Amino acid sequence: MANLTFVRIKALKIFAAVLFLLILYSLGSALYYMYKDKGHSTRMVRSLSIRIGLSLFLFIVMMIAARLDMLAE
């Protein structure tokens, strides 16, 4: 049972890290589009919207994991 808990926590940490990297990538692409397009495109807004959606998704997943005691070692 303890081994299953360890695997679950490890998988949740990897999932959170990957999602965090995607959030950072989206933020970086928004910065790139801001400088490249000079405000004449909606690509920056789309990138920031994706970042907000990913952040909310990560927050909701972490809240559910905390509620189900999946974060306890």
Indicate whether 66 pLDDT > 90: no
51 HSE (CA, 13 A, CB side): 16
Helix then strand count (H, E) for the chain reads 2, 0
Q: Using 50, 70 and 90 to split pLDDT, how confident is the model at 41?
A: confident
Report pLDDT for 8: 81
Distance CA 15, CA 22 (A): 11
Minimum mean pLDDT range among 4-8, 23-27, 61-65? 4-8
